[in-house]
Amino acid sequence: MTETIKDSIVLITGATGAIAQALIAGLRARGAKKIYAAARDVSSLTASDRLVPIKMDVTSDDDVNRAAAQATDVTLLINNAGVNHNTAFLLAADLAIAREEFECNYLAPLRVVRAFAPALIANKGAVLNMLTILARVNLPLMGSYCASKAAALSLTQGLRAELGAKGVRVAAALPGAVDTRMTAGLPIPKMSPADAATEILDGFEKGEEEIYVGDMARGLAAGLAADPKGVERQLASPG
């Protein structure tokens, strides 16, 4: 099972995003042999000997299957693409936002893992899912995003059993707030994408299954271990 980054062959989805860009820099620095940078718009991604842009909307079966047929040498799949409409359940006009978040944050990683499973099994590889600490407790002001990431946490656990039996490691990163486009409107302390990427890759290389990223995530995880209802109530009335 893949645990070290050196000489790995990585495919990362949502490669144009801020955390993805920091992860790509970290992967390169740690000696990844090749990185497939998958994005729905690849125009800003520059190909090089170690970076291969691939067009992939993660909600498209065609895009994902085409990428899986091309990148059969992948040893580490990072499901990073995500969407967060920062919307409470009852404030959304209809179900469109919840559907989009579930499409991108739950069904898409399922689609991508299913397509890449044969290669990952053959290569004894690994999957790293980008979740959030809010997969473990709901923050009502972005309730439907949290629900979609909770589904992705359950997906991660199920895949760990299914793929683990076939020699593929399944890990998850659970960051707190990171300073990206996704959190632009939130007046809260945020860590830099570079610091988040360092912690994610350090945790991955240490063999962790759930990688808590940043003080906010570690604090909430400790709170959930000690007093889960207290944390639920704390997030229900922030500030």
Ligand X SMILES: NC(=O)c1ccc[n+]([C@@H]2O[C@H](COP(=O)([O-])OP(=O)(O)OC[C@H]3O[C@@H](n4cnc5c(N)ncnc54)[C@H](OP(=O)(O)O)[C@@H]3O)[C@@H](O)[C@H]2O)c1
When the beta carbons of 125 and 214 are compared against ligand X, the nearer one is 214
When the beta carbons of 14 and 125 are compared against ligand X, the nearer one is 14
- The site string for ligand X over 102-141 (x = CB under 6 A, - otherwise) reads --x-------------------------x-x---------
d(CA 192, CA 25) in angstroms, rounded, equals 14
Taking a C-beta distance cutoff of 8 angstroms, is the pair 54, 60 a contact? no
Closest contact distance (angstroms) between CB of 195 and ligand X is 12
Active site residue 33: no
Near ligand X in 147-176, by CB under 6 A: 175
> DSSP character for 46?
P
Tokens of 48: 């090089």
Rg (CA), the chain: 17
Which of these segments, 39-47, 154-162, 197-205, 225-233, binds ligand X (CB under 6 A)?
Answer: 39-47
d(CA 173, CA 178) in angstroms, rounded, equals 12
- The site string for ligand X over 5-24 (x = CB under 6 A, - otherwise) reads --------xx-xxxxx----
Active site residue 229: no
* Marked catalytic residue, from 36, 145, 190, 212: 145
Closest-CA residue to 78 (of 131, 144, 30)? 131
Closest-CA residue to 169 (of 205, 115, 133, 214)? 205
Strand-pair partners of 126: 76, 169
Tokens of 27: 């992967």
Residue that the structure tokens 């090089």 belong to: 48
Closest contact distance (angstroms) between CB of 19 and ligand X is 3
Selected from 43, 90, 181, 187, the binder of ligand X by CB under 6 A is 181
Residue that the structure tokens 């580490």 belong to: 76
Taking a C-beta distance cutoff of 8 angstroms, is the pair 188, 150 a contact? no
Closest contact distance (angstroms) between CB of 201 and ligand X is 14
When the beta carbons of 75 and 132 are compared against ligand X, the nearer one is 132
Q: Is 206 in the site for ligand X (CB under 6 A)?
A: no
Residues annotated as catalytic are: 145, 149
| Footprint of ligand X (CB under 6 A) | 13-14, 16-20, 39-41, 57-59, 80-84, 104, 130, 132, 175, 177-178, 180-183
